[in-house]
Structure 1
Amino acid sequence: MGFFGKLFEKKECAICGGEIGLLGNRKLEDGNMCKACASKLSPWFDDRRHSTVEQIQEQLEYREANKEKVAAFRTTRTLGENTKVLLDEDAGNFMVTSARNLAEANPDVLAFADVTGCDLDIDESRTEIKREGKDGEEVSYNPPRYQYSYDFYIKIHVRNPYFDDIRFKLNNRDVEIENDKMGGGLGRMHGSLDPERDVEYRRYKEMGQEIKDALTQVRQQVRDEAAAAAAPKAAVTCPWCGATTTPDSSGCCEYCGGSLNES
């Protein structure tokens, strides 16, 4: 079969069994998948081509079970602007999404304990601004002038069988800063710049730091609670029955059931 024959050959989705359209094929390591099935995968998953049909089926089962977690999710705190980090502090869960309809988007619900780290990355690019010379050619200013562009990214490192991190941009358009001709205001001489003096730059940097601090704090809180639960409990005298007892998981006397947290 020639090239065009293979191009127009009908393919079957190994996941749902449906016929795959001309531009709808999504290659797997050992089969093909339609774009409808591919759309159900986690948005943070990027290893489709190296995944087997069996692995994709397992992920789709995970994604189906995730719908119940989304339905039970109760947002107590929202961080970010376009793509948001939603926290359910009562359940100890979070999600990252830009969707308005959570049930339809089915964003991955992760536990605070799944977080292993969080980074704020600021990407800077610089373009020289030139003026028109006497002969119509572009010439540099003296000292040079530059247009600086900044993008702010959050990268959340997580424990998950299908992805290792969640990376998203905080700003929906570039934060642009121009140093002025004489180096006054925001600019300095010789093209250097202090971006911290720009309102938009500070806003997105503070937004990113807030997300980083929040996820770091909730992760540490979970770890501290787990360590406290695992630590051996000291024996105390029960104020209700007078017995020497080790508090149970509810903080009660193992003999009479009285609360050891009450006087």
Structure 2
Amino acid sequence: MEDIKRQLAYRAENEKKLAHFSPSITFDGSKKVYIDPLGERFIITGLSNWRSGNPDLIAFSQVLGVNTDIRENKEELFYEDSDGNEKSYKPPRYTCDYEFNVTIRVDSPWFDEIELELSDGNRPDSRYTDLYCEYERKMHELADILMRRDERYRVWDGDGMMNRVEFSSSQPKNPAPIPQTTGGTVWICPSCGAQNNGKFCANCGVVKPVTRSDCANCGWKPADGQSMPKFCPECGRPFQ
């Protein structure tokens, strides 16, 4: 009885949250995935009108992992000889199709994973078709969004730093300190906050941001041969 009460309370709370859910990205398949990248939430439903139901609203932070799988379905073709016997072609011939499956592992008291096929109803018959490439791209894009690996949909705060930087539960909360080396200018990674002095972040691999040669606020530029100061001499804005 207690579990039933908890489930009913969860469904009621979920319905309230859905009223403020505004998805801007959709993935079609055996089930539809509706994503709100700014709110970092998504739903998965088989309903054509998701508002008519009460699908589970899942936060990106609940996603433990996304498994992708391309499955080849192969079936041999046969022919009938003059006696009506089924014979194999020489060499054997096959008909193939490919299904693109996604399994989302979720931290929830009510379910632990969701499975869907992106290619449902329209599977490509060859690896060398545009349709195959399109499904492969969509499959990885969906995984990257839910795991916060797609920079197009990452949420930044007002200081230009990431509000959330953990892409999976296996990443340490605090990045390991970078060994001190001589030479090079130290810069702060805008993705994970680690200090670096190379072209790439040693903690997460992000490319070093390009340093502006002018003030973003007033447009002041240093004279030829003049080094960039820490603060703009015209408006006082600090240079990043």
Higher strand share: 1
The residue aligned with 1:161 is: 109
TM-score by length of 1: 0.54
Bigger radius of gyration = 1
Q: In the alignment, does 2:156 pair up with 1:225? A: no
Give structure 2 stretches of 5+ with no counterpart.
Answer: 156-161, 167-172, 175-236
Counterpart amino acid of residue 138 in structure 2: M
When structure 1 is superposed on structure 2, of 90-99 and 59-68 the one drifting more is: 90-99
Aligned length: 163
Structure-1 separation of matches of 2:28 and 2:34: 9
The residue aligned with 2:141 is: 210
Higher helix share: 1
The residue aligned with 1:8 is: none
Counterpart amino acid of residue 214 in structure 1: I
TM-score by length of 2: 0.59
Shift of residue 216, structure 1, vs aligned partner: 1.8
The 3 A distance-change label for structure 1 pair 218 and 158 is: farther
Shift of residue 152, structure 1, vs aligned partner: 1.7
Structure-2 separation of matches of 1:219 and 1:162: 28
Identity %: 33
Q: In the alignment, does 2:24 pair up with 1:76? A: yes
The residue aligned with 2:65 is: 117
Shift of residue 156, structure 1, vs aligned partner: 0.9
The residue aligned with 2:131 is: 200
One of 27, 39, 42 as aligned partner of 1:91: 39
Deviations 1:39-66, CA, capped at 9 Å, x for gaps: xxxxxxxxxxxxxx43233122101110
Q: In the alignment, does 2:100 pair up with 1:152? A: yes
SS in structure 2 opposite 1:225? Answer: coil
The residue aligned with 2:206 is: none
Give structure 1 stretches of 5+ with no counterpart.
Answer: 1-52, 178-194, 232-261
Counterpart amino acid of residue 66 in structure 2: C
Counterparts of 1:1-263 in structure 2, within 5 Å, are 53-81=1-29, 83-173=31-121, 175=123, 177=125, 195-217=126-148, 225-226=163-164
